[in-house]
Amino acid sequence: MTTEQVAPAINPWHVAQRQFDLAADRLDLDPGLRQVLREPRRELTVHFPVKMDDGSVQVFSGYRVQHNLGRGPAKGGIRYHQDVTLDEVKALAMWMTWKCAVVGIPYGGGKGGVVVDPKKLSRREVEGLTRRFATEIEVLIGPERDIPAPDVNTNAQTMAWIMDTYSMHVGYTVPGVVTGKPISLGGSEGRNEATARGTVFCVEEAAAHLGMDLAASTVAIQGFGNAGSIAATLISQHGVRVVAVSDSSAAIHDTNGLDIARVIAWKAEHGTVGGFPGSRDISNAQLLEVDCDILIPAALENQITARNAGSIRARVVAEAANGPTTPDADEILHDRGVFIIPDILCNAGGVTVSYFEWVQDLNRDHWSEEVVNSKLREIMGRAFGETLTLAEAQSVNMRTGAYLLAVDRVASATALRGLYP
């Protein structure tokens, strides 16, 4: 590719605002409300030192953004990634507001991020970074105010460190300050699998709607972290053939279907899915365009754009990632008859079980995995049905349907509360 052909980087915040504007226009939203919902309520930027293993000090930058608090405390993950920007975190926070509204759980939207590649740090350095970042954002977080959770490159251990740091500062244990914790520290059964399980529920609903036979279908999955690898496992249990998967360093393809348990073991041993015996190495770009019925983007934003939307061969795109498809690509896919299950619906299983975890923590209760999964299925099934009904009634795609549902719920709550003072 020559320099002239390099596409300009797409700013996720501009994407998020454009998606909101489309819904606000259709809802004919009051201009004042529109201005309120179009911007985040609070944006905190922090720069903080961490003592590295070699004795040197390194300063890291991080963010916590609260987009909206109208329907409840802010809720949303914290990601560690070298490309994190304030605009990305703002977009992710806004998407959390709509996501919580689509599934009808009593939260607003928030998100956090630290600019770091944690794979280059030791475990002790990641712990130090996490505890100091938690301390810096303590002006915002709390079980009634803003409740972080895992996201890209963070996990149950990260949440345990944040919970412990917060608890040490207040002087008693506060499990409800974060979700996605280890089960032994007040985590919920089923939380680790929840994002993927919710995505698979949505795929089942979409297949029923479109008359697709899942047992005769194929899937390609971009991203092999918490969402992608567990989605691969769960969907293959439905008889769906997983023909391609990728991670941040490689992508593999096998038209006969990959044995997912073996791919997971391979990745654990080699650090990547690349080189998996019997598979063909392909590029990340090729993965999105392989011949398959269902495509699950489960990595980062802006993967399906106007440049490659015309080459996507899947009939269903199930967005386990946040923001994987740009508005231009949405239009192209919709015109081509591709059924998109939008992120704010498709990956809402994670935050839904986070809500269950928080409710259990506040009540000092613990539910069985069976109870968690059946409540999750009920909520996802209802949200999918409400979105589809609205999309069909208004002759719009599923993304616009989900936005109409969500923005209307948040706008009504905001209007009912009125303006202070």
Nearer to ligand GLU, 96 or 332 (CB): 96
Nearer to ligand GLU, 217 or 360 (CB): 360
Which window, 69-77, 229-237, 306-314, 364-372, contacts ligand GLU (CB under 6 A)?
69-77
Q: What distances in angstroms separate CA 338 from CA 197, 221, 253, 332, 385, one per listed residue? A: 22, 16, 22, 9, 18
CB 148 within 8 A of CB 78: yes
CB 220 within 8 A of CB 213: no
Nearer to ligand GLU, 152 or 263 (CB): 152
Query: Is residue 88 within the footprint of ligand GLU (CB under 6 A)?
Result: no
Q: Which residues pair with 13 in a beta bridge?
A: none
Which residue is catalytic, options 75, 99, 111, 181? 111
Shortest distance (Å) from residue 353 CB to ligand GLU? 7
Nearer to ligand GLU, 12 or 76 (CB): 76
Active site annotation includes 111: yes
Query: Is residue 179 within the footprint of ligand GLU (CB under 6 A)?
Result: yes
State the Cα–Cα distance between residues 21 and 341, nearest whole angstrom. 19
Beta pairing, strands 294-297 & 316-318: parallel
Identity (one letter) of the amino acid at 301? Answer: E
Q: Alpha helices of 137-173 — where are they, by DSSP H?
A: 156-170
Query: Is residue 149 within the footprint of ligand GLU (CB under 6 A)?
Result: yes
Q: What distances in angstroms separate CA 244 from CA 53, 122, 240, 260, 287, one per listed residue? A: 38, 31, 12, 10, 7
Binding to ligand GLU by CB under 6 A, coded x per residue (else -) over 352-371, reads --x-----------------
Could you tell me the two tokens for 412? Answer: 């009504």
CB 108 within 8 A of CB 35: no
Query: Is residue 153 within the footprint of ligand GLU (CB under 6 A)?
Result: no
Among positions 12, 62, 73, 77, the unique one binding ligand GLU when judged by CB under 6 A: 77
State the Cα–Cα distance between residues 322 and 343, nearest whole angstrom. 5
Nearer to ligand GLU, 293 or 357 (CB): 357
Nearer to ligand GLU, 70 or 350 (CB): 350
State the Cα–Cα distance between residues 214 and 294, nearest whole angstrom. 10
Query: Is residue 350 within the footprint of ligand GLU (CB under 6 A)?
Result: yes
Q: What distances in angstroms separate CA 366 from CA 143, 231, 359, one per listed residue? A: 17, 25, 9
Shortest distance (Å) from residue 404 CB to ligand GLU? 20
Shortest distance (Å) from residue 301 CB to ligand GLU? 11
Among positions 127, 146, 151, 330, the unique one binding ligand GLU when judged by CB under 6 A: 151
Site residues for ligand GLU, 297-326, by CB under 6 A, read 322
Shortest distance (Å) from residue 335 CB to ligand GLU? 28
State the Cα–Cα distance between residues 16 and 94, nearest whole angstrom. 7
φ/ψ of residue 51, rounded to 5: -80, 120
Q: What distances in angstroms separate CA 10 from CA 34, 96, 107, 312, 324, one per listed residue? A: 23, 20, 28, 19, 11
Shortest distance (Å) from residue 150 CB to ligand GLU? 6
Nearer to ligand GLU, 179 or 302 (CB): 179
Interface with ligand GLU: number of residues (CB under 6 A): 11
Which window, 53-61, 71-79, 125-133, 405-413, contacts ligand GLU (CB under 6 A)?
71-79
Shortest distance (Å) from residue 350 CB to ligand GLU? 4
Which window, 48-56, 115-123, 126-134, 349-357, contacts ligand GLU (CB under 6 A)?
349-357
Query: Is residue 347 within the footprint of ligand GLU (CB under 6 A)?
Result: yes
Query: Is residue 105 within the footprint of ligand GLU (CB under 6 A)?
Result: no
Query: Is residue 76 within the footprint of ligand GLU (CB under 6 A)?
Result: yes
Beta pairing, strands 146-150 & 74-81: parallel
Shortest distance (Å) from residue 192 CB to ligand GLU? 11
CB 338 within 8 A of CB 314: yes
For 184-195, the DSSP string reads GGTPPTTHHHHH
State the Cα–Cα distance between residues 352 and 370, nearest whole angstrom. 15
Site residues for ligand GLU, 246-305, by CB under 6 A, read none
Among positions 84, 314, 351, 402, the unique one binding ligand GLU when judged by CB under 6 A: 351
Angle 152-154-155 from CA coordinates, rounded to 5°: 120
Nearer to ligand GLU, 60 or 95 (CB): 95
Query: Is residue 187 within the footprint of ligand GLU (CB under 6 A)?
Result: no
Active centre residues (catalytic) = 111
Footprint of ligand GLU on this chain (CB under 6 A)?
75-77, 149, 151, 179, 322, 347, 350-351, 354
